[in-house]
Each structure stands twice: as structure tokens, then as C-alpha cells.
Amino acid sequence: MSLNISADFDSGNIEVIDASDSQRIELAIRPDSNSPHYQWFHFKVDGLIPGQHYHFRLGNAAGASYGHAWHGYNAVASTDHQSWFRVPSSFDGQALSFRFEASHRQAWFAYFEPYSRERHTRLIEQALSNAGCQLLATGHSVEGRDIALLRKGDGAPGKRKIWIIAQQHPGEHMAEWFIEGIIERLQEPADAALQTLLAAADLYLVPNMNPDGAFHGHLRTNARGKDLNRAWQDSNAQDTPEVFFIQQQMEQYGVDAFIDAHGDEDIPYVFTAACEGNPGYSPRQAALEAQFRSTLEGITPDFQSLHGYPRSAPGQANMSLACNSVGERYQCLALTLEMPFKDHDNAPNPHTGWSGQRSKALGRDVLGALAQMVQALR
């Protein structure tokens, strides 16, 4: 029986080079629509014979945006498109390969557990109907997809305004899983920590900043080929309407804390990067960052502050990044939160690696950390 490999669905990305030999199924990752970036893949295989072994080969892996990051990486697979697990993978300096023993006639493979647009729509509905959020404003992507800005809280004067945005980089699907964890906790009876947080702060949540890129199976850019996390100095309604919209909203409501949720291809840990290279970086911001990191480390083993990006030298920050731009403009706690495409090596889970579920748990725990320091945020 011949194999049928497809990716013509939400966040699908693969090119079939030659699927005639089950022991060497030659595939390639497709670049973003208007950009050379690529690394995200997500495809379905039909026609598998249960019990038979298959060998998949992504032949252009070395040329991916973070080609070195394939070392130590294991692909994710699913037999029902719902629950995902890691499959042992190897990178030979050119191709990423993985072997799979079929248990069903079909299987899906991806770079990370995908977050679908359908699930996003359900998440917005749950936020509005069960989590007490309001749809504060709706922006639109280049291709016209809604970008929801949710608010939990009444906007009363004196409330801290905590902004959490996700998936500027569309292939970093862990970011919307992270927001789902936040919204899930808001649907539960507020425990003491949540009561403390919500008494003093409103949450401004953007579950997906880049719906076009996510839908098209992009790694890094929007439908115009723009990296949204390099657009915060010159966003505009034509090329980067996603950032332009959120910046307008931030100006309207103000910002007292900012977290930008991302995924990192290479570093096998959860970590944060901050705005220490900003010209206006202050000791107060440094203290808030340290307090957030130590507080979150005390809450979960799925966070650490030893591994991460090199710190920017004073005055050398790239101000086009969201974290740096918002930190400078609002003189507040401003962080990029990175979750791994691999695993969090301080607390590894060989079966799933880092996953949607662990991203959700981290979202819940970030609310707990913010609750412990909410009075200090302004």
C-alpha cells in the first residue's frame, strides 16, 4: 500500500520529495511564505501498516533557521492528532531522521505539539464565557484573521496592567498553550493567590499575535514575511498590523508589566530574557526581573535562571524587540519567556519532552509568581 503524506491543513508544512521507499521517506521543510526562514514542520501520513517500521528523513534540516538546534532534538508524533509523544530522532549534519513503528494506519508528525486555530477559537469562547474575560479589542492580521485582546479585570484606576502576549513567532506553538494554562486557571474558583493578583491587577492577554503565520505553518514571520519581534520600532498597518494594533492598545491602556511568550529551538531549558541592554534600563527593572525569576523558580522545577541567552551589554539592546521596546517605553518589568522545543533538562520527560501540557502548567505558575510580587509592579 502506498503512503499518502499531506500537510494541506491548519499549520501544515512539508514537501514530499520521494515517499516510494518506506525505509527512506524523503521530505523537506517548506520556508515561510515570504521569507527564507524555516524549521516548523507538521504533516500527516496515511496508509501505514501497523507493525511495520518507517524511516522519515527531512533532507534540508541543516539549512533551517537554527540548523545547529537539531542536535539533541526529538520530533513529536501522534496517532490521533490529540496526544503527542517524542520519537527518537537524529541529525547527521544534513538531515533530521526519525524511525517510527506504526500502530495505526495514520500518524501525524510535527516540530512541536500544534495549537490549532479551532482550539484558539474555543479558548477565546471559554475566556469570555467561563473565565470572566472581556474582549477588549479585536485587531486583524495581514490576511484579516482576528487578533483578540482579552482583559480579565475592570480597568479601574490603580489596578496594575499586566500584559501577556504569545506567538509573535508563529511556529512557537508552546506560547498559546501557555496562555491556555492562564485562561484555564482563571476559570477555576480563585484561590488566595489569584484573589491577591486580581484584586490589584488586570490581565491583558493576547493568545496569538500571528494567526496567519501559524495557519500557514511558518516558523518566524507573518504573511508579509515580517518577523513581528523585530517590528516594535517601526510597525505599520500594512506590513505588521499585528504589532501596530497591540502598540495602539498599550498606549490606550498603559503597561505595568509585560511578558512575551516564545519558544527556543536550541536551549533545552525554560528561561527568561530581559531588557538589560536598554538605554533607560533601571535598577528597579533589574530588581523586578530577579524577583520574578527567583519567585518562579520557587514555584516550579520547570523554570530556571542559570541557562539562557547571553545578556545584552549596556545600551546595546536591539530596540525592535517587544521586550526591549515595551520595557523602555513603560519603564516596567518586561520579559521574553522562552520555552524549549526540546525538553527542560532540569526536569526531563523522555516521553513528551517539553509539551503543551507543561506549557499550560507554566502559564498557571506564572500567575502565581505575579501574585507574589504584584504590589511591586508599579
10 contacts 208 by C-beta, under 8 angstroms: no
Using CB under 6 A as the binding rule, the residues of this chain from 240 to 259 that contact ligand GEM are none
Nearer to Zn ion, 137 or 337 (CB): 337
Selected binder of Zn ion within 37, 169, 185, 360 (CB under 5 A): 169
29 contacts 61 by C-beta, under 8 angstroms: yes
Q: Give the C-alpha separation, 213 to 273, whole Å.
A: 23
Q: Which does 75 bind (CB under 5 to 8 A by kind): ligand GEM, Zn ion, none?
A: none
Assess 37 for contact with Zn ion (CB under 5 A). Answer: no
Assess 314 for contact with ligand GEM (CB under 6 A). Answer: no
Q: Which string of x and - marks every residue 255-294 that binds Zn ion (by CB under 5 A)?
A: -------x--------------------------------
Stretch that binds Zn ion, among 31-39, 89-97, 164-172, 197-205 (CB under 5 A): 164-172
Q: Give the C-alpha separation, 163 to 334, whole Å.
A: 9
Nearer to Zn ion, 60 or 221 (CB): 221
Q: Which does 30 bind (CB under 5 to 8 A by kind): ligand GEM, Zn ion, none?
A: none
Question: Would residue 338 show up in a list of annotated catalytic residues for this protein?
Answer: yes
254: which residues sit within 8 A by CB, 6+ positions away?
A: 161, 330
Terminal C-alpha separation, the chain? 64
What the block records as the C-alpha cell of 244 is 501596530
What the block records as the C-alpha cell of 91 is 541529525
Q: Which does 309 bind (CB under 5 to 8 A by kind): ligand GEM, Zn ion, none?
A: ligand GEM
Q: Give the C-alpha separation, 215 to 212, whole Å.
A: 5
CB 41 to Zn ion: min, Å: 17
| Residue with cell string 532534538 | 73
Selected binder of ligand GEM within 176, 264, 343, 365 (CB under 6 A): 264
Assess 328 for contact with ligand GEM (CB under 6 A). Answer: no
Q: Bridge-partner residues for 166, per DSSP? A: 261
Selected binder of ligand GEM within 113, 184, 242, 338 (CB under 6 A): 338
Assess 89 for contact with ligand GEM (CB under 6 A). Answer: no
346 contacts 300 by C-beta, under 8 angstroms: no
Number of residues that bind ligand GEM (CB under 6 A): 11
The C-alpha R_g of the chain, in whole angstroms, comes to 21
Assess 226 for contact with Zn ion (CB under 5 A). Answer: no
Q: What is the dihedral of CA 82, 303, 249, 210, to 10 degrees?
A: -40
Assess 344 for contact with Zn ion (CB under 5 A). Answer: no
Q: Closest Cα partner for 368 from 116, 219, 196? A: 196
Q: Give the C-alpha separation, 239 to 231, whole Å.
A: 9
What pairing do the DSSP bridges indicate for beta strands 89-91 and 96-101? Answer: antiparallel
Q: Which does 336 bind (CB under 5 to 8 A by kind): Zn ion, ligand GEM, none?
A: ligand GEM
Q: Any idea which residues carry the catalytic annotation?
A: 338
Binding site for Zn ion (CB under 5 A): 169, 172, 262
Binding site for ligand GEM (CB under 6 A): 169, 229, 262, 264, 273, 309-310, 312, 321, 336, 338
